[in-house]
Copies of this chain bind each other. A is one copy, B any other.
Amino acid sequence: MNAAAQLADNRRKLLEIAAEEILENGFQATSIGDILTKSGLSKGALYHHFPSKLTLGYAVFEEVFVPECATRWEPALNTSDPITSISTLLRAQVSDMTDEMIRLGCPINNLGQEMSPIDEGFRQRINREINHWCDELAAAFKRGQAAGHVKTEIDTRQVATFFVASIEGAIGLAKNAQDRTLLEACVEGLIGYLEGLRA
């Protein structure tokens, strides 16, 4: 491996291990020392790549959590029949979730709940991302309306917001209970709601 690749590799390793630790313990309770031990790298290496713990946290959010999430949801958005495609993806995502994922919940929402009230940098990043999802979802519903699959009288943006809230709430409930059946129940409730929006 050449030097540039090694360099990028070390940075990536730090990011991914930090992501694991943050997902498991939250940002504040994540220890730099633990990240170093797990990665086998030194404190010098970490602080060479990231000027502070906070900066590392922002990078984890933007370079690990957000892309992960985008990959997961994109397939459902570019269709003319969003209610069907979203319902299908929803069920598939839930049944694909490991018990570990149930236990840990949504990385982005976790971070938001922990950090939004106490760090404006996190808050803005997370808020921007959630708005982005709502926008995309609302656009998908609008396309559904144009294609005649979705009732025209609904406020697409409001429906999108309610959808995101319900999903995040459902993941949170299942995380507390460590019980995927809770998540399944909520998803069926949500799908029932969506079906009510069909034209």
The answer to whether the Cβ of A167 comes within 8 Å of any Cβ in the partner chain is yes
The answer to whether the Cβ of A15 comes within 8 Å of any Cβ in the partner chain is no
Interface bits A36-78 vs B (CB < 8 Å: 1, else 0): 0000000000000000000000000000000000000000000
- A123–B176 CB distance below 8 A: yes
In the assembly, what is the distance between CA of A117 and CA of B101, in Å?
11
Residue of B nearest to A162 (CB): B189
* A173 and B130 contact, Cβ closer than 8 Å, known pairs A186-B161, A186-B165: yes
Stretch from A4-12, A22-30, A81-89, A142-150 contacting the other chain: A22-30
Chain A interface size, as a band, is: 35 or more
**Distance (whole angstroms) from the CB of A63 to the closest CB of chain B:** 20
In the assembly, what is the distance between CA of A69 and CA of B31, in Å?
33
Residue numbers of A with Cβ under 8 A of B are 24-26, 28-29, 103-105, 109-110, 112-114, 116-118, 123, 126-127, 130-131, 157-159, 161-162, 164-170, 172-173, 175-178, 182, 185-186, 188-190, 193, 196
